[in-house]
Amino acid sequence: MSTAIDINKIPALARLVEEVEATKKPRELKRDDRVVAVVSPVTYDSSAKTDLMSFFGSWKDVDTETLKEDIYSDRTRNASNPAINL
């Protein structure tokens, strides 16, 4: 995981972040002619959350014990990928 930087302590960076946030467009940070980093806006897609929420309860009619038995049975039946006993 990356380390967070408090941009309030770096006014020039805070202004850049405000611009990226307002325009919703990433900005490249360059040293000489080479891009060394990109400041990119974070977007929160509400439709993705709605899609995810639609999956809740979709397995409610599945017999989980039978499902687990079938999975373990398939694992031991497959000779090219045998089950590992720990």
Supply the pTM of this predicted model. Answer: 0.48
Per-position b or e across 4-30, b if 16+ CB within 10 A of its CB: eeeeeeeeeeeeebeebeeeeeeeeee
The pLDDT value recorded for residue 1 is 64
Give the three-class secondary structure for 33.
Answer: coil
Residue type, 13: L
What pLDDT score was predicted for residue 70?
Answer: 87
Kindly report, residue by residue over 25-77, the tens digit of the pLDDT.
999 999 999 999 999 998 777 777 787 788 888 888 888 899 898 888 887 77
**Nearest alpha-carbon partner for 37 in 20, 51, 57:** 20
Classified as helix, coil or strand, 73 is helix
